């Protein structure tokens, strides 16, 4: 009877192979959760993480906010200059979004030109600040070199907050922010909508906006 001999590996070779497998698994996991165009998290990750953060809010008592963001008139770039130009715009916008976030925030691409930002342990004022930073970055001269072909790019934002004792479901939370985004679009685009209040200033929040937002329990004293 002939016995097969199995190949043997040294401890160093085994360790090297284990490290290779771990890198491959990490890469595959990244592909499952990452948007291939922008490098941001994808829609699948968004729904998973939103569940996690609302559960964390109920457990810790610290509110969570959600930003829904959509480019204004993005279709004109795809239709006029092609999808390659549109993808370049999305890549640059992804960079602006990352630069505007805190280390604990999650930026996701959830549709063609629609993005979602989950902000754990945050108040509405925090998400207003992030939205304003993204708007400011987009409005700088030369923000989209060789991509927008002279078109002025802007975005609309819808914001919602999830409180520890909120009766909202996760889906309700998402729909609330998405409804605010719709209101920002309907009111003229290029603005931020939260709790029925719309912010169109690129600079500091106006006194009228502060008064309206304070009724929602939002502290904008640091704006």
For residue 220, CA distances in Å to 103, 190, 191 come to 21, 20, 17
Active site residues: 113
73 CA to centre of own chain: 19
Angle at 22 between CA 16 and CA 28, to 5 degrees: 140
Structure token pair of residue 77: 């770039």
Under 8 Å between Cβ of 128 and 159? yes
CA–CA separation, 184 and 216 (whole Å): 18
Under 8 Å between Cβ of 173 and 66? yes
CA–CA separation, 105 and 101 (whole Å): 6
- Return all residues near 187 (Cβ < 8 A) that are at least 6 apart: 193, 198
């Amino acid at each position: 009877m002939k016995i097969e001999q199995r190949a043997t590996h040294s401890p160093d070779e085994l360790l090297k192979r284990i490290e290779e497998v771990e890198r491959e698994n990490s890469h595959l996991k990244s592909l499952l959760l990452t948007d291939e165009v922008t490098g941001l998290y994808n829609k699948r990750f968004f729904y998973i993480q939103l569940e996690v953060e609302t559960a964390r809010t109920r457990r810790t008592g610290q509110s969570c906010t959600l930003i829904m963001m959509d480019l204004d008139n993005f279709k004109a770039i795809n239709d006029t200059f092609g999808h390659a130009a549109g993808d370049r715009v999305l890549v640059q916008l992804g960079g602006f979004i990352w630069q505007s976030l805190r280390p604990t925030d999650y930026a996701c691409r959830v549709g063609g030109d629609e993005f979602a930002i989950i902000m754990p342990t945050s108040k509405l004022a925090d998400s207003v600040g992030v939205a304003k930073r993204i708007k400011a970055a987009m409005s700088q001269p030369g923000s989209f070199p060789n991509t927008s072909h002279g078109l002025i790019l802007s975005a609309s934002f819808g914001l919602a907050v999830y409180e520890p004792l909120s009766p909202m479901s996760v889906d309700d939370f998402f729909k609330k922010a998405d409804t605010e985004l719709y209101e920002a679009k309907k009111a003229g685009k290029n603005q931020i909508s939260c709790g029925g209040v719309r912010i169109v200033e690129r600079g500091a929040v106006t006194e009228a906006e502060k008064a309206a937002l304070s009724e929602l329990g939002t502290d904008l004293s640091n704006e």
